[in-house]
Structure 1
Amino acid sequence: MAILGVVVYHFGWDLSFFGFASPDMMFSEPVIIFARALAGSFMFLAGVSLVLAHGNGVRWRKFRQRLAKVAAAAAVISIVTFTACLQDTDLQAKVVATQERGQSEFGVDSTPTFFVNGKRYVGALSPEEMSAVIEANL
């Protein structure tokens, strides 16, 4: 059931990413709730599997083997995804266009840069400073 949930979530993400659905779809409240429930179910199932595997005490050798397999799989997925991202010239062009638009239209020349009601704030603001800016504009 959890695998089906992941397939459904990522299918929706792909539809949105490739322009077949609204880009905002993945940030709608029902989808966010679904994603959190899905992540929560995976965390719960991971805990159950650990209890079942180590109910009578932790078997460290098996635990380290499993951890190594999971870490290796995560590393492979990260490397493949990162490499694909670096080779995506369309994405690179969009990032550059967005950066240039930020510079030319909004005067963004550093990060972080915040805009509140059209006024630009450059640099890292402390939580107190950010709260004061927001409160002043409510």
Structure 2
Amino acid sequence: MKESFVIVSAVRTPIGRYGGSLRSLSSGHLASIAIEEAIKRAGLSPEQVDEAIMGEVRQTTESSNVARVAALRAGIPESSPAFTINRLCASGMQTVATAIQQIVFEQADIVVAGGTESMSRSPVYLRNSRFGGDKPILIDSNTEAGQQPQEIYG
């Protein structure tokens, strides 16, 4: 078991306004930009990355495994595994904790970890539409996510 680990680079995804200039970029695309830059700043090559772990609160069907999409876009080889964590607002922090575990327990030497979002591309869906019956309701997942659980479930 390794007794230490080091964070060698930190880069954040760009910040924009809801529906603004970044609205056409998927969360995977935004993450790949940050991953590429983090690898560059660390003086590493994508081929040296053993694993990529990303967190995303509002996952979409564009990239069900956003970590894999972002890693491949950033040039990390297919042979390096990648997985996505969803712990809602704690997703990004959980990726860092998981990366540390991978390193400390000698499962990997170099791990990319972080979080990504594109709130402009969060799903809008039609609840109650699949099987008929109840009146369909158009739901914006961003608005619904802001509600407190006790308001929804009692």
Fold shared, TM-score > 0.5 on shorter chain: no
Q: Give the number of the structure whose residues are more often strand, by fraction.
A: 2
Greater relative contact order (Cα 8 A, min sep 6): structure 1 or 2?
2
TM-score interval, normalised by the smaller of the two chains? under 0.3
Looking at CA atoms only, which structure, 1 or 2, has the larger radius of gyration?
Answer: 1
Larger helix share, 1 or 2: 1
